[in-house]
Amino acid sequence: MTSRRSMLCGLAVAMVVPGGLAACSTTTTNPSTGGGTTGAGNTGGSTPGNAGAAGLAALADVPDGGGLIVESGGKPLVLTRTGDVVKAFGAACPHAGTTVSPPKGGIITCPNHGSQFGASDGSLKKGPSTKGLTEVPVKVSGDQVVMA
């Protein structure tokens, strides 16, 4: 039986990606690091490489001036980048829980009802959501973006 998440992910990929070529998020557990999560998903045209033992993504895989969607602990995060500064926000839209799209032009948009959030701070720019995205602490460690 296909899960609702798998079905929605496939539908979102078909609607967003030209030609239908994309990968949905995956998370694996690395026993050598005490069960931390590794690897992650992608949307928006860039493909994360091997994220490493505890990394969410390689810094090089987070587009400067843009971002991507990854998964940590089974929850989607949107990573945003300006130069060497990377921020993360919970990627579930506060309005209806839909996973937001990666940022474009400094704006993170929910594909479900059109709520918009600032990529630099997660602040609400346009509803129907009534609040912004919640920041999640991350840092750059070497060439990896990791939980802080």
Per-residue pLDDT reduced to its tens digit, 86-145: 999 999 999 999 999 999 999 999 999 999 999 999 999 999 999 999 999 999 999 999
Is this structure's pTM higher than 0.75?
Answer: no
Who contacts 1 (Cβ-Cβ below 8 Å, separation ≥6)?
none
By C-alpha distance, which of 140, 137, 76 is closest to 108?
A: 76
> What is the number of other CB atoms lying within 10 angstroms of the CB of residue 30?
14
Residue type present at position 5? R
pLDDT of residue 105: 94
Mean pLDDT of the 4-17 span = 43
Helix (H) or strand (E) holding 9: helix 4-16
Task: Sketch out the chain's domains with CATH numbers.
Answer: 4-147 (2.102.10.10)
Higher local confidence (pLDDT), 26 or 69? 69
> What is the number of other CB atoms lying within 10 angstroms of the CB of residue 97?
9
pLDDT of residue 126: 96
How would residue 84 be classed by pLDDT, with cut points 50, 70 and 90? confident
